[in-house]
Structure 1
């Protein structure tokens, strides 16, 4: 499913664990409460997507675009967000950010403690 167009798709409460969505277009997609353990979202566009309470354990999000995404309550434990775009993403209340963020762009991001990155 590499490079697939899932723009605006309703994927709530789905189990997409281990799938290869490298380069996928998920702009505005609803992935709330989805189980995405080990998913490959490298180079994917998740701008303005809803990842509310999504489980992204060990996910590959290198170079992913998460600008403006709702990441509230999402679990990124062990995920790789290297060079990801997290500008203006919402990451409040209980995010588990035990993730690799090397080179990630974080301007305007709201963090779990409510602070905003300038």
Structure 2
């Protein structure tokens, strides 16, 4: 995956990907439910349509990542960097975005119902 940068539709449910470098990797429509992506580098990654329900993305770098249409319900994005990320039509129901950085992120149509946004910066809805 890291050498080919391709993992579209991959099943990585529950995978331990803590601190891994997945920058620029195509993870579109991948199943990352319950995956541990704590402190992972996902800069410029394509996560469009990905299932990230209950995923641990604490302190992950998702700057300029494409998360359009992704499902991040109940995900932990505490202190995650989402600068410039495409979050269009993504769902963050009951997600933890405490102290997350959302500067210049595209949140058009994104659903943050029940999400914890305490201390989050840059959210211009």
Q: For the superposition of Structure 1 and Structure 2, which TM-score range results when normalised by the shorter chain?
A: over 0.9
TM value normalised by structure 2: 0.87
- CA positional deviation for 1:35: 0.6
State how far apart, in whole Å, the 1-side matches of 2:3 and 2:27 are.
Answer: 12
Which residue of structure 2 aligns with residue 40 of structure 1? Answer: 41
Q: Which residue of 2 aligns with 1:79?
A: 80
| Counterpart Cα distance in 1 of 2:27 and 2:88 | 16
Question: CA shift at 1:2, angstroms?
Answer: 6.2
- Residue in 2 aligned with 1:69? 70
Distance 2:113 2:3 in 1: 31
Structure 1 residue ranges, 4+ long, deviating more than 4 angstroms after superposition: none
Q: CA deviation at 1:4?
A: 1.1
Preserved contact between residue 91 and residue 112 of structure 1 (Cα < 8 Å): yes
Aligned partner of 1:97 in structure 2 is 97
C-alpha displacement of 1:112:
2.6
Asked if the contact 1:37–1:55 (Cα under 8 Å) also holds between the matched residues in 2, the reply is yes
Which residue of the partner structure matches residue 51 of structure 2? 50
Give the paired residue count: 115
Q: What is the deviation of 1:3?
A: 6.2
CA distance in 2: counterparts of 1:62 and 1:109, whole angstroms = 17
Residue ranges of structure 1 left out of the alignment (5+ in a row):
none
Aligned to 1:8: 9
Shift of 1:54: 0.1
Q: CA offsets per residue over residues 16-67 of structure 1, 9 Å max, x none? A: 0011011000000000001110100000000000000000011000000000
Q: Which runs of 5+ in 2 are unaligned?
A: 116-123
- Residues in 2 aligned to 1:44 and 1:112: alpha-carbon distance in whole angstroms: 25
- Structure 1 length as normaliser, TM-score? 0.92
